Amino acid sequence: MGQALNIALLPGDGIGPEVTDVAEAVLNLLIQRYQLPLGYTRFDWPSHAWHQAHGEMMPGDGVAQLREFDAMLLGALGDPGPLEDPSRFVLSDSVSLAPLLALRKQLDLWACERPAHWLPGAPQYLADPRAREVDMLVIRENSEGEYSGQGGRLAPGTAQEVATQVEVFTARATERLIRHAFQRARQRAAQRETPRQFKNGKHAQVCLITKRNAQPFWGDLYTDTFQRIANEFPDVDTHHELVDAACMKFVQCPWRFDVVVASNLHGDILTDLAAVLCGGPGLAPSANLNPDEPTLPALFEPVHGSAPDIAGQNLADPRATLMSLAMLLENLAHHHPAIGSAAQHLHDLIQADLAREANGDPFSGTRETGQRLCQWLAA
């Protein structure tokens, strides 16, 4: 079978290379076992190490090079750690995270999907047993909003300094985001074995998040668009929460949410919270996609960052990255059925590994988790 598809592995910084090592080993075994028509290239950029050697996080044509791939898996970018090493080479986040934002924007990966599904065996931080029913999909606007990158500092460093950070919300980006959220809600309901119940006997829901009481301009654009598109989806229940109340309800009753659609920044914050509802940062995957342009390479990455506090200590849970790899394979499954089988197998392995923890075996380390999964896969 020829090598039809190419994946770019971007380990990045901090725990990124540690969790990517595990993902690479698992990917290799999946390719062999399922004879997948897949190959991959591991890049040493974007990263602090590349910047130290070359004076930039990635080559000038980095995005153009990555555009040629069929999908990307990113470990993490940011402070490389460990924090105890005061002489480590650290850049400001605005420099080190710029490649991630550039990839999202320049490849027009406008939807960021962050599933938050509690799986048996995962740590459960909420005492209420209904916390085991958490199964939501947060869809985050990924191309504009609070991350539009416009603004500046006037008279920096003086007492007269003025900083502006402009938020930009366009009708086009709002419409495509919200329509996508409704489509995904409908799709999820159709795929569920046991229907969920929302208002008026509906089996799917979309909850819109805004801060329209204080930020009415984009809040009202989102609300009007949401109401208009909801009319096209009479089978989907609708709901709205202000972002502050949403934080409260994510803790009080997260099992009530299905699809949640939010702006770039609100979605960012809510998905760290949602990660903890499902066991912590080591168990939260994500996908940056352009649902209209499936030929553009999608970018998959754990929700977490470079975790400099635990970098280099074999403490990073690699399963958020493995779950992101499973999402990547699902995304490519339409090319070949074996890719879908490999994605399902990986998903099952992660669930089996979590079930081990339900039986009392604690998380055993980054490398040990990888070795165990690889042994199961090779068996």
Residues of this chain that bind ligand IPM (CB under 6 A): 97, 100, 268, 303, 305
Q: How far apart are CA 123 and CA 276, in angstroms?
A: 9
Q: How many CB atoms sit inside 10 A of residue 69's CB?
A: 19
Going residue by residue from 12 to 51, which x/- string records binding to ligand NAD, judged by CB under 6 A?
Answer: ---x------------------------------------
Of the candidate spans 193-201, 267-275, 315-323, 325-333, the one that interacts with Mn ion by CB under 5 A turns out to be 267-275
Q: Report the nearest approach of ligand IPM to the CB of residue 148 (Å).
A: 13
Pick one of 10, 58, 206, 310: the residue that binds ligand NAD (CB under 6 A). Answer: 310
Q: How far apart are CA 96 and CA 80, in angstroms?
A: 10
Nearer residue to Mn ion within complex by CB, 258 or 268: 268
Nearer residue to ligand IPM within complex by CB, 29 or 327: 327
Q: How far apart are CA 58 and CA 261, in angstroms?
A: 32
Pick one of 11, 219, 305, 370: the residue that binds ligand NAD (CB under 6 A). Answer: 305
Stretch 98-117 residues interacting with ligand NAD (CB under 6 A): 100
Q: Report the nearest approach of ligand NAD to the CB of residue 298 (Å).
A: 15
Tell me if 79 contacts ligand NAD by CB under 6 A: yes
Q: Report the nearest approach of ligand IPM to the CB of residue 235 (Å).
A: 31
Q: Are strands 71-76 and 38-42 parallel, antiparallel or unpaired?
A: unpaired
Nearby residues of 21 by Cβ (< 8 Å), 6 or more positions away:
11, 366, 367, 370
Q: Report the nearest approach of ligand IPM to the CB of residue 299 (Å).
A: 10
Compute how many residues bind Mn ion; rule: CB under 5 A.
1
Tell me if 70 contacts Mn ion by CB under 5 A: no
Nearer residue to Mn ion within complex by CB, 121 or 254: 254
Tell me if 281 contacts ligand NAD by CB under 6 A: yes
Tell me if 146 contacts ligand NAD by CB under 6 A: no
Q: How far apart are CA 262 and CA 217, in angstroms?
A: 15
Please state the separation of Cα 119 from the chain's center in Å: 17
Beta bridge pairs of residue 112: 140, 288
Q: Is residue 124 within 8 Å of residue 279, measured between CB atoms?
A: yes
Give the dihedral sign, CA 311/317/318/321: negative
Pick one of 265, 309, 340, 374: the residue that binds ligand NAD (CB under 6 A). Answer: 309
In the chain the first and final C-alpha atoms are separated, in Å, by 23
Q: How far, CA to CA in Å, does 245 sit from each of 181, 255, 273, 365?
A: 20, 15, 13, 36
Pick one of 18, 70, 146, 268: the residue that binds Mn ion (CB under 5 A). Answer: 268
Minimal CA–CA distance to 13: which of 77, 57, 81? 77
- DSSP run (H or E) holding 171: helix 171-191
Residues contributing to the site for ligand NAD (CB under 6 A)? 15, 76-79, 93, 97, 100, 281-282, 301, 304-310, 316-317, 320
Residues contributing to the site for Mn ion (CB under 5 A)? 268
